[in-house]
Amino acid sequence: MGGQRSIAARVSHDPHPSHRRHGDRFDTKGNYHNLRNDRKGSPVNQERDSGLDQRFIENLPQYKPEYWDKVDYLDVNGNTEDTNFHCFPAGVPRMGPPTKIMATPTEVVFLYNQKNTWRLIPLNRPHDPINSKDQTYLGDSVGKWEGDTLVVDVTGFNDETWLEWPGYFHTNKMHVIERLRREGSVLHYQVTVEDSDVLMQPWVMNERVMRLNTQPMVQIEDPPCVESDSANLYTKERG
């Protein structure tokens, strides 16, 4: 799997994606885009629909019984407790799959259309003994190839981010494993979260499917986050 690899994809909910192989390479040049499908394109409905979608899913993280009250509190008070709402990084895994991937034989770079975020992921080496203890928003990442799947192991988090919007918190002992695999024009992104201090079992998040974007002029445009809403909020809960 050596040499430069590149991928570009567009979020897809196509139940019948292409499964044609693209040789034996994981191709990684290009960009990803999230597609929204809100009622009448309304930003108000986008907020409400997103809130419903993220609360009423079957695949929930299984917290130990004593921690569900905290989840409920964070959900109800999301406008003040959710650091991502105040321009802090969403963190891994909440930020989801990258917008663009660039790679060399020794490292992979993930670029995100979120607050100018990027991740440098060295390949085929252990975690840095210092960086992995720093407790940051993005953690310390190392990657390796398992066949045609890029496996990224992440540790060294702080406890400021959430796994998902409705108050799904974690501790600084969280361990995340990301798996990225390409089939033809489709990229599969799968995440497993381990946090035995608060979760009864590892949480395998729903797979995200991205479709290749072949437009040659696509750019990553990400204006800076400017927090200006807090003083004007009248409700505690979003969505």
pLDDT digits (tens, 9 = 90+) for 151-201: 999 999 999 999 998 899 999 999 999 999 999 889 999 999 999 999 999
Question: Are the CB atoms for 168 and 71 separated by under 8 Å?
Answer: yes
User: Residue 108, Cβ neighbours under 10 Å: how many?
Assistant: 23
Per-residue pLDDT, 27: 54
Within-domain flag for 227: no
Q: With respect to residue 206, please indicate whether it lies within any of the assigned structural domains.
A: yes
CA atoms of 227 and 211, how far apart (whole Å):
32
**What is the domain range of residue 83?**
6-14+21-52+63-215
On whether residue 170 sits in a domain, the answer given is: yes
Check residue 239 and give its pLDDT: 57
Task: Identify whether 111 is part of a domain.
Answer: yes
pLDDT reading at 238 higher than 90 = no
Residue 228: the pLDDT is: 67
The residues, ordered by sequence, that sit 6+ positions from 135 with a Cβ below 8 Å of its Cβ are: 156, 157, 158, 159, 172
146, part of any domain: yes
- Nearest to 195, CA basis, from 155, 138, 143: 155
What is residue 8's predicted lDDT score, i.e. its pLDDT? 37
For residues 200 and 146, what is the distance between their CA atoms, to the nearest angstrom?
A: 28
CA distance 20 to 18: 6
Regarding predicted confidence, which is higher, 232 or 70? Answer: 70
Which of the four pLDDT bands, split at 50, 70 and 90, describes residue 236? Answer: low
How far apart, in whole angstroms, are the C-alpha atoms of residue 99 and residue 132?
Answer: 24
Nearest C-alpha neighbor of 158 from the set 135, 124, 139: 135
Q: Does the predicted model carry a pTM greater than 0.85?
A: no
Percent of the chain's residues with pLDDT above 70: 71
194 DSSP β-pair partners: 175
Q: How many CB atoms lie within 10 A of CB 184?
A: 13
d(C-alpha 220, C-alpha 152), whole Å = 23
At 91, is the pLDDT very low, low, confident or very high (cuts 50, 70, 90)? Answer: very high
**In-domain check, residue 233:** no
* 42 pLDDT above the threshold of 70: no
How many CB atoms are closer than 10 A to CB 93?
Answer: 23
How many domains, the chain? Answer: 1
Indicate whether 135 pLDDT > 80: yes
pLDDT of residue 35: 41
Q: Give the list of residues 6+ apart from residue 237 with CB closer than 8 angstroms, or none.
A: 75, 76, 77, 78, 79
Distances from the Cα of 7 to the Cαs of 101, 145, 213, in angstroms?
6, 15, 9
The vertex-117 CA angle with 152 and 170, nearest 5°, equals 60
Compute the chain's Rg from CA coordinates.
Answer: 18
How large is the average pLDDT for residues 192-218? 92
pLDDT at 207: 96
Domain assignment present for 88: yes
- Report the distance separating Cα 53 and Cα 57, nearest Å: 7
| Contact status, residue 122 vs residue 135, Cβ threshold 8 Å | no
Domain annotation covers residue 238: no
